[in-house]
Amino acid sequence: MKKNYLFLLPFFLFSLFVSCSKNEDENYISVDTESKQIVNNNNTKAISIDLSQVPYPKLSDYHFFVGQLKLQKPGHKVLPYEPASTLFTDYAHKKRFVWMPPGTKATYNGDTNILELPVGAVLIKNFYYDNVQNVVPAGATRIIETRLMIRKATGWIFAEYVWNNQQTEAFLDLNGSTTSITWIDEENVTKTVPEYRIPNEVQCIICHKKQETINNVFVTKNIPIAIKPQNLNFQYNYGTETVNQLTKWIQTGYLNSNFSLPAQNATIVDYSDVSKPLDLRVRSYLDINCAHCHQNDRHCDYRPMRFAYSETGASNGLTNLGICVNTVDMQSFAPALSKIITPGNKNRSMLYHRLNTNDEAFRMPLHGRTVIHTEAVNMIEQWINTLQPCP
């Protein structure tokens, strides 16, 4: 007798609807409410963030990257980003990513302020060199370190991971260390950093701290540096598309959309782009390399300079940049360095001197470099020579 399978039709249509409505480009994930561990719906490992257990002992424990760890291929919703103007770190290249827990997003607090990321968010920053000569095989890429900032309910914490020589894993190490790097750069010039410095936790805090008074109690909290809308407001190539980064964050579900993109005159420029106006390049360089300390309630707020991009273009911008500002009682500088910036004279400009020395007692920034950033020093010299004399 012929069997009637019509009773199965509703189940078939339901399963067809479910399968067709699923976005095949997505790796769907859900949260295990007991362990707080994030797993995907086919039971294979995905991104795992248990805030009670971080920092994990190994970088691979987070599952931020798929395939070989050293290839840095981002996993589900691990979003690459890049500031228009980047912090100099001994000529190291950097790859940056952000990840946030499902259903959470950052909050916009103004063009010039750090985006407020949700609890559970992670900022990922990899430091590497191409065409390295003192490795086997010579000419390979060497990743030195991966720095994480993890947002817990109590605030941001640091997790520093140092890569092994085999480039197969990076291990938690907050004690700090040094390593030697020799590489051939894009201009075919051989360069060496004798003691590239991997920071310890205290050094991280110096650059990333903000001081506040809460309920009459003085507190210090850790904050990110580069994720300001004014520094992300440009087109970025994501491989499959080129789109404004802030727009991409919104599309990814990582940022609220109740704001307008920063105006062009409020957007930082790439200081290495010689097609941009010199004064904007200098202001952008000082913003990313110096302003995180030279702001109110930051590590160097006792100095008169205010290097944030938004504070160097207004009527008080010349003073905030240190132009014609005296260096009275600023360490034991040579008498010739009587001003932070002396227009037309680099040798009488304290700022130029501190950027152009490797003496740890005087060099700036305090951390993050052990060699002179020659291109930036040349840019600062060129800028000083364009300034009008002091009154």
Cα 38 to chain centroid distance, Å, stands at: 25
Same-domain check for residues 169 and 314? no
Other CB atoms within 10 Å distance of the CB of residue 275: 7
Greatest mean pLDDT range, 6-10, 297-301, 349-353: 349-353
145: helix, strand or coil: strand
Same-domain check for residues 77 and 205? yes
Greatest mean pLDDT range, 212-216, 224-228, 249-253: 249-253
Parent domain of 77? 53-268
pLDDT in tens, 44-85: 356 879 999 999 999 999 999 999 999 999 999 999 999 999
Same-domain check for residues 208 and 329? no
Provide the sign of the torsion angle of the four alpha carbons 175, 181, 186, 191, taken in this order.
positive
- The C-alpha atoms of residue 5 and residue 48 are separated, in whole angstroms, by 44
What is the per-residue pLDDT for 10?
40
Same-domain check for residues 123 and 169? yes
Q: Is-contact 320 307, C-beta < 8 A?
A: yes
Same-domain check for residues 91 and 139? yes
By the 10 Å C-beta count (0-12 exposed, 13-18 middle, 19+ buried), 269 is classed as buried
What is the per-residue pLDDT for 379?
97
- The C-alpha atoms of residue 167 and residue 169 are separated, in whole angstroms, by 6
* Last residue of one domain, picked from the residues 268, 300, 325: 268
Same-domain check for residues 264 and 280? no
Average pLDDT of the segment spanning 95-104 = 96
Residue with tokens 């109690």: 217
More confident position, 331 or 335? 335
Provide the sign of the torsion angle of the four alpha carbons 97, 201, 284, 117, taken in this order.
positive
Task: Give how far Cα 25 sits from Cα of 22, 77, 97, 140, Å.
Answer: 9, 11, 20, 33
202: helix, strand or coil: helix
By the 10 Å C-beta count (0-12 exposed, 13-18 middle, 19+ buried), 164 is classed as exposed
Same-domain check for residues 165 and 241? yes
What is the per-residue pLDDT for 338?
85
Pairing of strands 170-172, 93-99: unpaired
Same-domain check for residues 73 and 203? yes
pLDDT in tens, 107-131: 999 998 999 999 999 999 999 999 9
Q: How many residues are given for the chain? A: 391
What is the per-residue pLDDT for 362?
82
Is the pLDDT confidence value at 88 over 90?
yes
Question: Total structural domains in the chain?
Answer: 2
Same-domain check for residues 60 and 148? yes
Is the pLDDT confidence value at 320 over 80?
yes
Is the pLDDT confidence value at 332 over 80?
no
Average pLDDT of the segment spanning 5-12 = 39
Q: Is-contact 247 235, C-beta < 8 A?
A: no
- The C-alpha atoms of residue 318 and residue 300 are separated, in whole angstroms, by 18
Same-domain check for residues 304 and 358? yes
Write the DSSP string, 61-79. Answer: GG--EESSGGG-EE-TT-E
What is the per-residue pLDDT for 46?
62
